Structure 1
Amino acid sequence: MTATVVVRGSGSIGQRHARVFRRLGADVRLWPVRPRPAIGTDETTGVPLLDDTSGPSVVAAADLVVVATDTGRHVPDALEALDHGAAKVLLEKPVAATLSLGAELAAHPRADDVWVAAPLRAHAGFRRVLVDVHRLGGRLSAHVWCQSWLPDWRPGRDYRDSYSARPDEGGVLRDLVHEIDYATVLFGQPRLRGACLDQDGPLDIAAEQAATLLWSTDRATVTMRLDYVTRPSSRGIVIRGAAGALEWDVASACVRWIDALGAVDQLTFTEDLDRDAVMATQARAALELHPSADPAERHTAGAPATLAEGLAAVELCDHARQR
């Protein structure tokens, strides 16, 4: 039976979701937020369009609704999809701008039917790290980073007009919350020890341009650097313990194991270099599994985060801003 997927929001990420689900064989409809002159087919993706008249009835029969709107709309759009009767929701990150703004969704009777997008979990490289980290043994130290240049994110669009630049929706903590999410999967729930947020920098925006975090868990001590102000871009993690070190370079899709004597074993996961392929892994898992599935099954499949996990990441961001 063909799955029915509705993508709410027709920006670049919404169009990517629509394209990926369509390639998986789903019956996909795109429901833009901004009114279109006429209902027809999206020029970029070729996906049929819905409007505010036709959208609710299609959502009611949908197997999955993807919410890919601006952060400020995430919670109301997810609530609307659940209340209309969609079987599951895949909500883009972050769940909400703050934990308190996500409370209504968390309290919904069908909150367990909500996924939160976490495509780094779908990388084959990450899933290898998730297995190999246990080889390190004992207490660990880790450094996680995601550093890039915001003006390069959306060529042809002024970055100052994007949600990333808005202090109530953007900033590196919300934009790069995926790093917080996957580090929590690896090491457990964090206890924030310190946070330094940089509002000043080379970008003319009101949101924070950089953040440096320190936290601990029962298993590890973690430092994290997130910023919009670095060229060339770099993204990855290095984990160290008594048995050696484990590194994941996201950009090159390489995972390296360095043993206690310095010998290196490197694997390259070329499938991770195709963003649509990674998104397809997440999309397939979101359709085939339920957020209540066993965590090991979800992690093996590259599934998204649960709503509770997505909100936990937002809560850490809130704590960082309060320091």
Structure 2
Amino acid sequence: MKALFPEIRPYMTTMLPVLDGHQLYVECSGTQSGIPVLVIHGGPGAGCSDKMRRFFDPERYNIIVFDQRGAGRSTPHASIEHNTPSHILDDIEVLRKHLGISRWVLFGGSFGATLALLYAQQFSKHVCGLILRGVFLGRQQDLDWLYKNGAGRFFPEEWQLFLEPLQSNDKANVIDQYYQILQGDNDLARVAAAKAWARWEAANSSFRPNQSSKDYFTATHVALALSCISSHYFKNKCFLDENQILDNIAKIADIPGHIVHGRYDMVCPPEQAYILSEHWPLAKLNIVREGGHSAFDNAMLDALICVTNDFAKQLGAPETEA
């Protein structure tokens, strides 16, 4: 079973100005002349952790991590203004040009996988490969699974806790009700709702109960960004046409990809990964038997590091001696 690569420090960090008054936290680690890989976090609004740079051999990869608009260390914090997938794709292009990169690998999980697919479909000439984990296609049925009539049947006690901040007896429109609280003026209610939203996300993420994951997600700074930005996206159906990603899959037909998905992913059921692989012949699908949604489940972590090592070989970076 493979483990994360050892802790490393970035060789560069910066705040990158983009349009509409947003600034993005960006860091680069590993080897500057290595294979460029862009880490695209999920949520929306979850932000990056230091562990995310450790999925890659630092002697073979140039590891680029950034916090999307409103997330993590980017500013303004938790902002939903000018915050859509189109804005984020434009930001990624600004970042690519800023770093002088011609082509890169995209490493995206959950909503980060959504963004990686959207970027590759729009800017295919700049993508040499995709590594996707916990695929989220952004369809109505995918939202309904987590926020209406799916995951709550597996975690009924957590679902009741998730519903507690809502004042209405109408549970059919949970996302809209959360959005109203999170964009309201009552700061105490906003924080309570943010933590409940984040707790629900954490409860569904790991194959086994994981207190450190729950602590990370429910910390006020992370919870506010995650809940405000996610509810904004989900209220607007992720700003995507229904089935948009699958309808445009021909645009990435020539791009190689690896899809790693947990068999017991309760955030994004594996049907999404399977149907994506059926539409995308160059993608290799690995449904991990003891995996959940989290990249840090032991079996998921092992599978992802195997993929990053294999991709490095495919792209001409030989394995370094221990």
Q: Which TM class, normalised by the smaller chain length?
A: 0.3 to 0.5
More helix by share: 2
Asked which structure has the greater CA Rg, the reply is 1
Answer 1 or 2: which has greater strand percent: 1
TM-score normalised to the size of structure 2? Answer: 0.34
